[in-house]
Amino acid sequence: MSRTVVHLLRHGEVHNPDRILYGRLPGFGLSAVGAGQAEKVAEHLADRDVVQVVASPLLRAQQTAASIAARHGLELLTDEGLIEATNVFEGARVSVGDGALSDPRTWPKLRNPFRPSWGEPYQQIANRMLAATYRARDRAAGHEAVCVSHQLPIYTLRRHLAGQRLWHDPRRRQCALASLTSLVFDGDTLLEVVYSQPAGCSDPRVTGA
């Protein structure tokens, strides 16, 4: 059995005092709490057979991954396939009744929640995330890899692997800050998906978390 584990790690809490949806906007790094979460995950994985650490190019993911790479003495790699999904509401406050969603001019962008019409299609997200996961799996064959990404891409890939419909209620995502969605492979075959929260739980309904 050639057992390989790819840990999909969501980044830690972001410094976002204006509570906007930051998406792919540059400059959004970890808060003090987020940095602490990254250290907790690094400690949690310290004794694991991690031979590769890869991250989304966005600052918050790079900072989260840096703690793990340093702990294992590894070079931090970047994979564009792990990046956050695009979203037309970047830079806006999008909570109901406060911001973009309360403006009738934005409603046409919400017309199709199944694709979705406001951003990158779910299937496209799943495809690029799966490709990034396979790249990490192949490079770390027989060992473990950590891929630091974002809530929506990780959860979309998880639903894809489970054969579930990709559109979903974002308030019900099981993908807390600094959580691990670990994919266990035997060769090319996915055996199981294991979810854990080494840094504790967080509320998926909080915008900008």
State residue 172's pLDDT score.
87
pLDDT tens digits, 141-160? 999 999 999 999 999 999 99
| Overall CATH class of domain 3-196 | alpha beta
Residue with tokens 């979705």: 116
102 pLDDT more than 80:
no
d(CA 41, CA 47): 11
- Binned at pLDDT 50, 70 and 90, residue 208 comes out as very low
**pLDDT tens digits, one per residue of 13-23:** 999 999 999 99
Residue 114's pLDDT band, with cuts at 50, 70 and 90, is: confident
pLDDT at 44: 97
- At residue 107, the pLDDT reads 65
Rg (CA), the chain: 17
Instruction: Give me the residues paired with residue 195 across strands.
Output: 181
Q: What is the pLDDT of residue 109?
A: 73
Residues 6+ apart with CB under 8 A from 162: 193
Residue 173 backbone dihedrals phi, psi, to 5 degrees: -70, 135
- Are residues 156 and 174 in contact, defined by beta-carbon separation less than 8 angstroms? no
**Which range in 4-8, 98-102, 114-118 is most confidently predicted, on average pLDDT?**
4-8
Vertex 206: Cα angle to 150 and 164 (nearest 5) = 55
Q: Supply the DSSP symbol for 171.
A: G
CA-CA-CA-CA torsion for 106, 111, 114, 120, nearest 10 degrees? -40
Distances (CA, A) of 36 to 8, 87, 100, 113, 198: 18, 28, 32, 35, 11
Alpha-carbon distance of 33 to 10, in angstroms, equals 14
Residue 80 CB-density burial (10 A; 0-12 exposed, 13-18 middle, 19+ buried):
exposed
How is the chain split into domains, by residue range?
A: 3-196
Q: What percent of the chain has pLDDT over 90?
A: 74
The structure tokens listed for 155 are 């959860």
Render pLDDT for 49-78 as a digit per residue (tens, 0 to 9). Answer: 999 999 999 999 999 999 999 999 999 999
* pLDDT value at residue 7: 98
Q: Angle at which helices 122-139 and 151-161 pack, to 10 degrees?
A: 80
Place of tokens 């090319």: 188
